[in-house]
Structure formats: structure tokens, C-alpha cells
């Protein structure tokens, strides 16, 4: 399939990462970790990195090699738009949040895995990055507000995190939480929102090939406004499922009430799969505005990813799969 890339983004041939260089960088990072060169031991048994306050976590790992299984037919959205046209209610509901989000400190960044797992874990983001295979994927992002983008994410398949967590067979969902810190995130002082931002997937969704934990975009570590240092990306669902700046993954047998569901369940449900034929109660979902070109284009069921995910939703009568 054709991939068009706008001139601004494509890496010059010379700076593209070959497989060899990529694996060599990972080997060095792991060796440094093993030799204790980057800090003290943590619960995972891996060393904790002592990093400069503003160094982006794992920045030596970028850019990662692209996984060509995930193709797009629209041009990538300009990087400037991807990093300025954001939703991040922790920092406000205006379109200047990319500036406000710079207050977020992403190093050190602790991630907790708990709940129905063999053994709860807590680790620094760098330790996680040393244990998972980073790759680049081009995905469409469809927001429930009926706009869309095409974004080159860097990250790793969420199934890798599930593997690390070793959930008990009784676990059915994984619940994700964003950081909570009113001192840096003024939106969290707005008591009418059910902070922290919480999202959830079934284990089957979380281990689907498409479910991705993104740590970067455009071949670089994740900008803060896009959810550094770790965010969910589920491209077949509306964008609000893709929770940003995650600190906790809790495995459970109870379906969580998610952030937006708690606020307006009839508008933003648990499943939130994209479907042009199921309108939002206040607007149509039949088309979307491509933020890059400004054009209105038809929306596709599961945002065009049905071949990967439609099977997940067979025989689920009574579930509002598309809200």
C-alpha cells in the first residue's frame, strides 16, 4: 500500500536506523544496566537509572526500526500539528496545553503493575524500555470529536507488558492510570473531574497485536503534551481510550468505570470502538476532519482496523461496543 510522507518528517537515509545499529544500541543499554552503570537495583532486579532531570527516558533508543505490517494510505500529519493540537485535560481544555504540559517531569518515572498478577512489580521507565522491543508503527488516530491524524509512534506491543506482568488466569481487565500531581497539572484541581484519568481494556484487547504502548513519536522520545513517557495507543477505538503519561497497570476481574464514562456514560463508554454508523448523541460520526489537510473524509468501522480486531467483539449482545 502507498505511504505518502510529508517532506518535513522523513528521516534522511543517512540517519535512518538500520537493524544492526538498533540492536547494538539495545545491547549497550542492557550491558550498562547489567554492569550497574545506570543506578541502583529495583524490584524488577534491573538497575535504576540516575538520569538528568529533563533527559527523555531511553532517548538513546530512537529512532527505532519501522514495523511495515502497519500501513497507512493517507499522508502523515505534520509533526507540528501532532505536537500542538492536543487533548490533555490534566493541563486544561484549551489548545495551548502543549505549553502547559512542559511542567511535567518525566524523569524519574515509576511504573507500577499490580492487582491480579503473580507478583506485583514497580520499576523505572528506563528498566521497562530495556526489556521490551521498541519499534515504529504508523497508525491512524480518530478522536471522538470527529477529527483525525496519522502518526508515526514509537513504542512496544502492549502484550509485552502483559507478559511481564504475568496476570492470574482470573484477571479479565487491565486498568491504566495517569499520574496525579496537582502541583504540575492545574486541571487536576478541578474537583468535578474523577482524577486520576483512568482507562481500561479487556486482556484480549490488551494482547491484540494492535494495542501499543507508545514511548515516542516522529522518531524521538514522546513529547510531554502527547503523554510522555508512556501512553496507550488503541487505533481502532476513539482517541480518549489512549490514556497518557501512565503510572499504573492494575489487573482485575472487574470492569473499571473509566474517566469519561464516569462523567458521561451515554457519550463515552467503556468500549468506544469507532463506527461511522453509530452517532455520538450530539453529532454524527460518519465523517472526520483530517487535521493535516483539513478535508472531511469518511470514517471507517474500527477506524479501518477491522481485520485485526473485529473478532474480539463477536457474540457480545447488549454491549454498547461503539459508544
Task: Using CB under 6 A, list all residues that contact ligand MTE.
Answer: 86-90, 143, 178, 197, 226, 239-240, 242-245
* Residue 159, C-beta contacts closer than 8 angstroms, at least 6 positions apart: 206, 207, 208, 209, 211
* Smaller CB separation from ligand MTE, 17 or 273: 273
Q: How far apart are CA 234 and CA 33, in angstroms?
A: 31
Q: How far is the CB of 240 from ligand MTE (least distance, A)?
A: 4
Q: Are 194 and 164 in contact (CB under 8 A)?
A: no
Nearer to ligand MTE, 17 or 106 (CB): 106
Nearer to ligand MTE, 104 or 121 (CB): 104
Closest Cα partner for 220 from 110, 67, 69, 57? 57
- Helices marked H in the chain — which ranges? 19-34, 79-82, 97-100, 125-131, 158-165, 203-206, 259-264, 306-309
Terminal C-alpha separation, the chain:
30
Cβ 165 to ligand MTE shortest distance, Å: 21
Neighbours of 166 (CB within 10 A): 13
Nearer to ligand MTE, 156 or 240 (CB): 240
Name the pairing type of β-strands 147-157 and 287-290: parallel
- Could you tell me the smallest distance in angstroms from the CB atom of residue 227 to ligand MTE? 6
Phi, psi of 131 (to 5 degrees): -105, -5
Compute the least distance from the CB of residue 299 to ligand MTE, in Å.
Answer: 14
Nearest distance in Å: CB 286, ligand MTE: 18
Of 234, 162, 232, 163, residue with least CA distance to 197:
232
In the bound complex, what is the minimum distance in angstroms from residue 280's beta carbon to ligand MTE?
A: 13
Of 121 and 217, CB closest to ligand MTE: 217
Using a 10 angstrom Cβ sphere, with 0-12 exposed, 13-18 middle and 19 or more buried, the burial of residue 69 is: exposed
Residue nearer to ligand MTE on the CB measure, 198 or 207: 198
Least Cβ distance, residue 253 to ligand MTE (angstroms): 24
Q: Which is nearer to ligand MTE, 17 or 250 (CB)?
A: 250
Amino acid at each position: 500500500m502507498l505511504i505518502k510522507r510529508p517532506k518535513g518528517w522523513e528521516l534522511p537515509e543517512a540517519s535512518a536506523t538500520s537493524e544492526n545499529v538498533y540492536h547494538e544500541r539495545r545491547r549497550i543499554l542492557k550491558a550498562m544496566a547489567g554492569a550497574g552503570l545506570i543506578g541502583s537495583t529495583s524490584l524488577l532486579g534491573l538497575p535504576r537509572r540516575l538520569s538528568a532531570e529533563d533527559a527523555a527516558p531511553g532517548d538513546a533508543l530512537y529512532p527505532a526500526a519501522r514495523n511495515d505490517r502497519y500501513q497507512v494510505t493517507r499522508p502523515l500529519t505534520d509533526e507540528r500539528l501532532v505536537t500542538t493540537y492536543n487533548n490533555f485535560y490534566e493541563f486544561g481544555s484549551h489548545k495551548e496545553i502543549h505549553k502547559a504540559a512542559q511542567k511535567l517531569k518525566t524523569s524519574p518515572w515509576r511504573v507500577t503493575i499490580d492487582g491480579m498478577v503473580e507478583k506485583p512489580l514497580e520499576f523505572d521507565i528506563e528498566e521497562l524500555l530495556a526489556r521490551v522491543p521498541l519499534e515504529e508503527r504508523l497508525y491512524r488516530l480518530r478522536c471522538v470529536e470527529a477529527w483525525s491524524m496519522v502518526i508515526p509512534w514509537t513504542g512496544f506491543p502492549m502484550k509485552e507488558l502483559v507478559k511481564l506482568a504475568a496476570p492470574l488466569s482470573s484477571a479479565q481487565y487491565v486498568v491504566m492510570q495517569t499520574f496525579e500531581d496537582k502541583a504540575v497539572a492545574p486541571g487536576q484541581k478541578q474537583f468535578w473531574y474523577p482524577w486520576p484519568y483512568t482507562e481500561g481494556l479487556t486482556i484480549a484487547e490488551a494482547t491484540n497485536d494492535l494495542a501499543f504502548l507508545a514511548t515516542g513519536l516522529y522518531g524521538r522520545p514522546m513529547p510531554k503534551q502527547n503523554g510522555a513517557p508512556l501512553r496507550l495507543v488503541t487505533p481502532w477505538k476513539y482517541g480518549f481510550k489512549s490514556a497518557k503519561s501512565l503510572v499504573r497497570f492494575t489487573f482485575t476481574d472487574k470492569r473499571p468505570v473509566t474517566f469519561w464514562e464516569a462523567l458521561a456514560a451515554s457519550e463515552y463508554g467503556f468500549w468506544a470502538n469507532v463506527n461511522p454508523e453509530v452517532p455520538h448523541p450530539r453529532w454524527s460520526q460518519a465523517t472526520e476532519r483530517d487535521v493535516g489537510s483539513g478535508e472531511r473524509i469518511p470514517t471507517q468501522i474500527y477506524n479501518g482496523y477491522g481485520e485485526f480486531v473485529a473478532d474480539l467483539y463477536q457474540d457480545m449482545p447488549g454491549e454498547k461496543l461503539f459508544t
